[in-house]
């Protein structure tokens, strides 16, 4: 799978790949009950053969023009 194919098939705010490990991030200001585990489940539902390497939730103070990685977000790192 390529980064372009990932962008076409999965909805996230940020996408990256390094050494074959894909990282998707979804930013939030309020979690609204959504969790990192739910984000992992969405990745697994879209890519059943995905092997989850890491996942989690990052809390940061609001910074209006910062990138998703520099704000509060959920992330999932996986290989296919």
Pairwise CA distance, residues 19 & 29, whole Å: 30
* This model's pTM is above 0.85: no
> What is the spatial order of strands in the sheet that 14-18 belongs to?
14-18, 21-27, 73-79, 51-58
What is the per-residue pLDDT for 71? 80
Q: What's the gap between Cα 49 and its chain centre?
A: 17
For the chain, 80 residues long, the average pLDDT of each consecutive 10-residue run is 88 90 88 84 92 88 73 90
What is the per-residue pLDDT for 54? 93
Q: Give the chain's domain count.
A: 1
For 33, the domain range is 3-79
What is the per-residue pLDDT for 52? 93
Pairwise CA distance, residues 35 & 57, whole Å: 8
Question: What is the sign of the dihedral through the CA atoms of 61, 41, 48 and 50?
Answer: positive
């Amino acid at each position: 799978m390529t980064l372009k194919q990932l962008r076409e098939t999965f909805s996230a705010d940020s996408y990256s790949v390094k050494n074959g490990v894909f990282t998707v991030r979804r930013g939030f200001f309020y979690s609204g009950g959504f969790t990192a585990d739910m984000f992992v489940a969405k990745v697994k539902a879209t890519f059943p053969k995905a092997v989850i390497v890491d996942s989690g939730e990052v809390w940061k103070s609001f910074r209006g023009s910062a990138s998703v990685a520099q704000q509060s977000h959920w992330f999932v790192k996986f290989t296919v």
